[in-house]
Amino acid sequence: MDLNLKNKKILVWGASQGIGLAVAKSFKAEGATVTVVSRSEEKLKKVCQENNLDHYIAADLSDVSSGVHSVEQAIKSMGHIDVFVINTGGPEKNSFENVKQSQWEIDFKSLWLTPCESLKKVLPKMKEQNFGRILLVSSIAAKEPLKDLTTSNGFRAGLTGLFKSMSNEYAEFGITFNILCPGYTNTERIQNLNLKQEVIESLVPAKRLGEPSELANLAAFLGSDKAAYITGQQICIDGGANKGF
């Protein structure tokens, strides 16, 4: 299927490795122009060279002004943004009683405030061109709270409500808002946990970790004009790990 993404302008946050990089590669394979953002300029430069990605911007997404600046720079480099993939990584694990105020503030900025303020830079042009795709890489924690991921559970669930509200507000302008919820995925973060196969099998009905490319392929579809009638949705890519409806 031709997704008609050739020459579309894509901005992917958190794209120096893992899911974000897989998403960037998936859009590039469809002929899109891709700008990637992450903290490490060294990593970004390397992945752009290795994967023929077009532009990179080093930014700390836990800093609101830095995140907004990355969007402004992407617009300057590409002219505009057709697809904005918001991927800000996972917060530190902590039970509620151990979460300090500083962690609440940092995680609120990276998961919520930086994306919201950045969207204000992207959406006016999307409205003008009557096309836009906003994709949020979240977690199954948004649907089913995970142990000791207190800030993630809270903020991600709230973002679901926000995206549903925004999807209604912007649907008439050809702009869609969808949330991708990965489960246990074969990324550097999961690899560092050294999960044994029997543990994976107990957590995931599919009996294996997901591959970043499996989420990335869905992201490319949702970013295309083929998915114009899909908005306000929260989709799990988790091998059946989420037990809810």
3-class SS shares of the chain: helix, strand, coil, % to 5? 50, 15, 35
Domains of the chain with CATH codes: 9-185+211-236 (3.40.50.720)
Residue 189 has pLDDT above 70, yes or no: yes
> What is the average pLDDT score of the chain?
94
Tokens standing for residue 90: 């996972």
Residue 243 has pLDDT above 90, yes or no: no
For residue 190, name the pLDDT band (cuts at 50, 70, 90): confident
Strand partners, 10: 34, 83
pLDDT for 146 equals 82
Q: 9, 19, 16: which is closest to 56 by C-alpha?
A: 16
Rounded distance, CA 241 to CA 225, Å? 29
Q: Categorize the per-residue pLDDT at 160 as very low, low, confident or very high, splitting at 50, 70 and 90.
A: very high
- Is the pLDDT confidence value at 89 over 90? no
| Whether the model pTM is above 0.75 | yes
Tell how strand 175-182 and strand 9-13 pair up: unpaired
- Which has the higher per-residue pLDDT, 147 or 122? 122
| Average of per-residue pLDDT across 232-241 | 95
The residues near 102 (Cβ < 8 Å, ≥ 6 apart) are none
pLDDT at 143: 84
Q: Give the β-pairing of 33-38 and 55-58.
A: parallel
Confidence of residue 245 (pLDDT cuts 50, 70, 90): confident
Taking the C-alpha atoms of residue 156 and residue 143, their distance in angstroms, rounded to an integer, is: 9
153 bridge partner residues:
none
Q: Does residue 222 carry a pLDDT above 90?
A: yes
How far from each other are the two terminal CA atoms of the chain, in whole angstroms? 29
What pLDDT sits at residue 137? 96
Rounded average pLDDT over 203-212: 93
DSSP H or E segment with residue 119: helix 114-129
DSSP state at residue 7: T
* Integer Cα distance of 241 and 199 in angstroms: 12
Q: Identify the pLDDT of residue 188.
A: 79
Percent of the chain, pLDDT > 90?
81
- Specify the amino acid at residue 195: L
pLDDT value, residue 198: 85
State residue 193's pLDDT score. 63
Of the listed ranges 32-36, 99-103, 229-233, the one predicted with least confidence? 99-103
Per-residue model confidence (pLDDT) at position 141? 83
Q: Assign 193 to helix, strand or coil.
A: coil
Question: With 70 as the cut, is the pLDDT of residue 113 above it?
Answer: yes
CB 218 within 8 A of CB 180: yes
pLDDT in tens, 39-74: 999 999 999 999 999 999 999 999 999 999 999 999
